[in-house]
Amino acid sequence: MDDTVFAFRPHGSPADRLNGICLPLEVPSVIEYIITMEFMEFALMSAGALFAIINPLAAIPTFFAMTPSNTEAERLKMARTASVTASGVLILFALTGNRLFGIFGITIAAFQMAGGLILLLVSLDSLRAKRSEVQETEEEKQEGIQKDDISITPLAIPMLSGPGAITTAILLQSKAKTVIQDATLYLLFVLMGFVCYFTFRFSIKKAKKINPIAMNITTRLMGLMLAATAMQFMLDGIKKTFFAAN
């Protein structure tokens, strides 16, 4: 069997990088790349940003408030459906986001600045251990209480994969420069679905063992990480807009 993999391709959309015949690259070169600082920085930043903006821990109280009369099995089913849907939404927008920008004439730099501002607003609420209205509103919560099944709306959309999470997915996709980074990012989208599901599953099974203080501390730490990520996105947008020629 030919001991080769796809070579890295120029920056562009995932479809562009996978389109056509790729040159072979030796497996050791791929392994060497994976352990480089560039790849580690991208992987860790992406994982941290996604977990911070989705933050399933902060959604637990609302989830229980909207499912007061549901059985454990019904809650688990809704959590599973919501987690799968959230991953699918992130993948869909990461794949199509850049092309949508082209249709509407929006540059990545402009979206980085606007998206960074949105994430910064969400992070400020997280630092106060609150759920941002970008993620969920009181009206959506009340509507969820009246619904028999909240798995798609409002749990998956917008609580787990709302404007903030979608913005993060598109911005991270714009930073992916190789096929390996693309693959890592989409793997993280899938892994975040598992993280959401098992977070809800643990909360359903062990509701009495959840410490509100620990949850608030975690939410604040995620807010700090998200604020730093938001500022980085905004700085990247400013650099591309005003200093690209330099």
The chain-wide mean pLDDT, for the chain, equals 84
Q: Which amino acid is at 92?
A: L
pLDDT band for 7, please (50, 70, 90 cuts).
very low
Q: Which run of H or E residues covers position 6? A: strand 4-6
Render pLDDT for 77-121 as a digit per residue (tens, 0 to 9).
Answer: 999 999 999 999 999 999 998 888 888 888 888 999 999 999 998
State how far the Cα of 138 lies from the Cα of 170, in Å rounded to an integer: 27
Whether the per-residue pLDDT at 25 is higher than 70: the answer is: no
Mean pLDDT of 8-20: 48
In degrees, rounded to 5, the angle at the alpha carbon of residue 76 between the alpha carbons of residues 72 and 81 is 150
The pTM for the full model equals 0.80
Q: Which residue has the tokens 């606007």?
A: 114
Whether 59 has a pLDDT exceeding 60, the answer reads yes
Question: CA–CA separation, 99 vs 129, rounded Å?
Answer: 35
Give, to the nearest 10 degrees, the angle between helix 108-127 and helix 212-242: 160
Work out the pLDDT band at 33, boundaries 50, 70, 90.
low
**What pLDDT is stored for residue 93 in this prediction?**
95
Average pLDDT on 41-67 reads 92
